[in-house]
Amino acid sequence: MQWHKFLFVIKVILSGEFHYFWLFFRSSDVHPCFAAAMKMIQVERDFAEKHYSDLSTKPFFSSLVEYIISGPVVAMVWQGKGVVATGRKIIGATNPAASEPGTIRGDYCIEVSRNIIHGSDAVESAQKEIALWFPDGIIDWRSANHSWIYEN
């Protein structure tokens, strides 16, 4: 399993969901992941349209853009071995009705159009999204016990 990075963007709508999100990364049923970057921002329309450009021909594009610009978001980059699969497991299915209980979407979302979290769907999209959200780069670090846990 390779070491990769993954972008999460979570809507700040409930006081508790951010704490809940952190607990997922400490859960014993997922591989450990580590924060590499984080910022809270109010997304501008042109930025949102660029972020969702691959969906620009979809009928829900404008409502997706409206939702992400409606309030602040926290954008985070997590890194670790298998982080994309781990991130997708934590987030749950795109359709909240199909998301397992215990996932962020399964517990906090009801409608697809009001999905409170975005996560990269592949290593390649994560690289593109991280470059967009963090143009100045991110910190590349390893914890002090990294060599005790990982071979490389």
Domain membership flag for residue 70 = yes
Q: Would you call 118 a catalytic residue per the annotation?
A: yes
Domain membership flag for residue 152 = no
pLDDT of residue 61: 93
Q: How far apart are CA 149 and CA 72, in angstroms?
A: 35
**CATH code for the domain of 131:** 3.30.70.141
Q: How far apart are CA 94 and CA 46, in angstroms?
A: 23
Contact 99, 93 (CB under 8 A): yes
Residues marked as binding for ATP? 11, 60, 88, 94, 105, 115
Q: Looking at residues 26-39, what average pLDDT do you find?
A: 70
CA triple 82-72-142, angle to 5 deg: 30
Domain membership flag for residue 149 = no
Burial-class residue 30 by CB neighbours within 10 Å (0-12, 13-18, 19+).
middle
Entry pTM: 0.82
pLDDT of residue 15: 47
Q: Which of 4, 19, 31, 118 is catalytic?
A: 118
Domain membership flag for residue 50 = yes
Residues marked as binding? 11, 60, 88, 94, 105, 115
Looking only at the bridges linking them, the beta strands covering 34-41 and 73-81 are antiparallel
Contact 43, 122 (CB under 8 A): no
For the chain, how many structural domains are there in total? 1
**Mean pLDDT for all residues in the chain:** 83
Q: Looking at residues 43-72, what average pLDDT do you find?
A: 94
Residue 81: domain span: 3-141
SS3 content of the chain, % helix, strand, coil (to 5): 40, 20, 40
